Amino acid sequence: GNGMPSSWQAWESYVADVVNYFSAKGVTHFEIWNEPNCCDFWIGQESTLDNYVTLFAKGIKTIENTNPSATTVGPSTSAFAGQIDGQLITGPLFDALDAEGATLDIYSYHMYNHEYVSTNNYIQAEKDLLARYPNMEFWVSEVNDAQIPKYADERNAAWFGR
C-alpha cells in the first residue's frame, strides 16, 4: 500500500525480511519509500509527517540491525527538501532518526526542471544538513526535464548541464 502499515512491528518485520532476502543476493544499498511528498505515494488518513518520519526512522534502524554493513538511502523526496502537511521533511526526519538511534548514509532526492526556480529555497536546508552531518553523501537519484513542458529544451539543457 501507499500508507501506514498495520503496525510498527509488521513494518519492521517486513523491512527485515526484504533486507535479509536481498542481502543474500548481494544487494548492499537499501532505500525507504519513494517520494512521500508527491503523487499519492504517501496517502491515507494516518499518512502524516509524524507517521512518515517514524516509519522512515524505524525502517532505517531495522536495516542497520538486520544487516549492519548495509548502506541506508533516503528519503527520495520529490525536491531536495520536500514537504508533507506543509512542513519541510528534513528537520523532523533527522530528529526521528536521532531519536531512533539510526544513521542515514546517503540523502537522496529527485530533481526536476521546474525546481530550478525554487532550488535556492532548498540551499539553506542542504547547508543545515551538511553542518549537522558533514560526512553524509547527497544523491540526486531521479531526474527528468519533461515535467513542465513550457520550458524550452535549450533552457532545460543549460540547467542540467550545471
Query: How far is residue 42 from each of residues 30, 34, 74, 157, 161, measured CA to CA in Å?
Result: 18, 9, 14, 31, 32
Answer whether 125's CB lies under 8 Å from 88's CB.
Answer: yes
pLDDT-derived band at 112 (thresholds 50, 70, 90) equals: low
- pTM score above 0.85: no
SS3 73: strand
Among residues 108, 96, 112, 111, which one has the least CA distance to residue 136? 108
83-84/29-31 β-pairing: unpaired
Distance of CA 40 to the CA centre of its chain: 15
Query: Which tens digit of pLDDT belongs to each residue from 48-91?
Result: 889 989 999 999 999 999 999 999 999 988 776 677 777 778 88
Question: What local confidence, expressed as pLDDT, does residue 105 receive?
Answer: 93
Question: What local confidence, expressed as pLDDT, does residue 96 receive?
Answer: 93
Query: Which tens digit of pLDDT belongs to each residue from 17-49?
Result: 999 999 999 999 999 988 888 777 877 777 788
Extract the C-alpha cell encoding 10. Answer: 509488521
